[in-house]
Structure 1
Amino acid sequence: MDIRSLACFIAVAEELHFRRAAERVFLSQPAFSARVRALEDEVGVALLERDRRHVALTSAGLAFLEPARAAVRHAAEARSAAQRAARGDTGRLRLGFSVVAFHGALPQMLNEFRGRHPGVALELVEMNSPSQELALAAGEIDLAVLHPPLDTPGLSTQALPGEPLVLALPSAHPLARRRTVKLRDLHGVPLLVAPRSVGPHVYDRLIGAFLQAGVTPHIVQEATPMTTLIGLVAAGAGVGFVAGSVAAAGRAGVAFRPVSPAAPELPVALAWREGRLPPAGQLLLALAKASKAGKRLASS
């Protein structure tokens, strides 16, 4: 029992005239009449009484009319729902993000995305970069804002502006009086760092910058996320590097300063499983590429 035949029956039931009903559904009258007859054969009863001058619903046809209307309506709703989902206007999008990303322009971009696609349910999960890679590979999230280079095969990426790193130090520290802190002046200063496992690329570049400046870093504690590291700085446990967007939020008792030579930049990217980004994720990816919020995702 196809929807097109049901639509033909509804048209003739409402018009009570075969020619007008056929024109309404854009069929020739012979093709239209054949569909109605085939529908009656399938149902097993006469739905219409007709002769050359008269068309009327039988009692069976009257009983059939409302369920037929409901079936056509539901079919249209189903088609529309499928088309919206295929466009990415409905459904679910699971997004992983790092602490750094959520201190930038990501919230603004997600607000813009929600405004454009209110039918998409956004599920947001905060986790560090290596955990996001594993979650993508396992299909637990659809899209991630993380920090390359990546170690997990089968992931595609879209680079975003990198995040500058600045030095967080207690406001009372003598070096806080300087506009720019030289790396060589951190000789012997207790240093707080994120574990290498969280970001080996940046960790190695940061240690390399110290060594190039002739300083062996005095690492006293590992801390993650960056907000925790800042709390330890406020408590006087040492100094450490944090993303500029995290520093922009400020913290009582903590000063943030650039260093010379400049600290390595924290790379940022969107990542997803190759060939497995759902339509809603494709829309968010396009927004990140095109919008001002996306261009400032890591630099705000």
Structure 2
Amino acid sequence: MDRPELALHQLYAFAVLSEELHFGRAAERLGIAQPPLSQQIRRLEQKVGHPLFDRRSGRVVLTAAGHELLPAARRALEEVAGGLDAARRTGEGETGRIRIGFAASLALTILPGILRAYRARYPEVEMEIREMTTAPQVAALHEHAIDIGLLREPPDEQGLVAEPILSEEFVAVLPVGHPLATRRVVPVAALAGEPFVLLPRATGPTVHDRILGLCRAAGFEPRIGQFAVEWQTVSALVEAGLGVSLAPASIRRIRLKGVAYRRIEPDTARTTVAVCWRHDDRNPLIARFLEAARSEPPT
């Protein structure tokens, strides 16, 4: 397809002159001298092949060709201006689409606040939210399937950057009828011999190992009776009497009538929640999301 090479400055000069219908005023408005304006109009007329203005009557008026070109010229200038503005806003992280992975337990703590803060700052950014455990989030980041991960116990992975945003203690998760549920603080050693409900190691290796470490430091190897992929399911299985658990303190927000959450002793272990992204990703949406995440106080 043949495309005429029309310079934007020629179209703009034409549009301004069509409004002013006076070379002197149009040149002043454009911030140039009158001869360069006349040259631009002549070049445009040469490309069209017909005069765009009639100057013979002592006045400047649009010709039929000029009337035909003017709406298209204005549309072109508006589209370019709109495209430049859209490109600027995208470059500054004000528009676009960001894909966010998150661990389900974070819906009980920091996730709503972070998403709310980000939405308030950048309402035109489309967010795609995916619920994923830690290991799948790490894989999805490497595969460019998500842009940001909100995960628990981020692994030390080459190519990824993790910024901690929350540190939680662990609590004991017990059926309400359990003898230890009457205590305010439960010694970890008192859980020896109890069947445990835990996350599989594959879904979150570090937090799984940390829980086992708590038990081993208390002098016993936990007997794992059931596995559950999400902390909500862990609580439900504990309520059903299938065992006890040790879990991040945010699990207390899962309010099940048949479950008691108690502080543990010792309580020195912590689990970390972090924002994770690819270190070489220069997407401005990520930088803006990090600003929102940093602005939200831990809950």
Common fold by TM > 0.5: yes
Are 2:15 and 1:17 aligned? no
Aligned pairs for 1:166-205 within 5 A: 166-205=171-210
Aligned pairs for 1:121-140 within 5 A: 121-140=126-145
Other-structure match for 1:63: 68
Other-structure match for 2:215: 210
CA contact (8 A) 2:200 2:228 kept: yes
Match of 1:221 among 220, 226, 230: 226
Query: More displaced, 42-51 or 115-124?
Result: 42-51
Q: Deviations over 1:63-88 (max 9, x none)?
A: 11111111111111111111111111
- Mapped partners of 1:225, 1:108: distance in 2: 21
Q: Deviations over 1:151-180 (max 9, x none)?
A: 542111212122222111001100000000
SS at match of 2:47: helix
CA contact (8 A) 1:166 1:263 kept: no
Aligned pairs for 1:1-300 within 5 A: 1-50=6-55, 53-150=58-155, 152-262=157-267, 264-289=269-294, 291=295, 293=296, 295-296=297-298, 300=299
The alignment's TM-score, normalised by the length of structure 1, stands at 0.93
CA contact (8 A) 2:211 2:246 kept: no
In the alignment of these two chains, the number of paired residues is: 294
- Mapped partners of 1:216, 1:118: distance in 2: 50
Instruction: Give ranges in structure 1 of 5+ residues lacking alignment.
Output: none
Question: How many Å apart are 1:264 and its aligned residue?
Answer: 2.5
Question: How many Å apart are 1:147 and its aligned residue?
Answer: 2.3
CA-atom RMSD, angstroms? 1.5
- Mapped partners of 2:103, 2:234: distance in 1: 15
Question: How many Å apart are 1:133 and its aligned residue?
Answer: 0.6
Q: Deviations over 1:127-160 (max 9, x none)?
A: 0011001111111111110123425421112121
- Mapped partners of 2:192, 2:55: distance in 1: 100
Work out the percentage of aligned pairs sharing the same amino acid: 38
SS at match of 1:258: strand
CA contact (8 A) 2:235 2:254 kept: no
CA contact (8 A) 1:49 1:55 kept: yes
Other-structure match for 2:3: none
Question: How many Å apart are 1:52 and its aligned residue?
Answer: 9.0
Question: How many Å apart are 1:253 and its aligned residue?
Answer: 0.5
SS at match of 2:237: helix
Question: How many Å apart are 1:14 and its aligned residue?
Answer: 0.9
The alignment's TM-score, normalised by the length of structure 2, stands at 0.94
**1:250 aligned partner, one-letter code:** R
Moved >3 Å (runs of 4+)? none
CA contact (8 A) 1:97 1:127 kept: yes
**2:51 aligned partner, one-letter code:** A
**2:146 aligned partner, one-letter code:** I
Q: Deviations over 1:210-248 (max 9, x none)?
A: 122122222212222110010000100010122222312
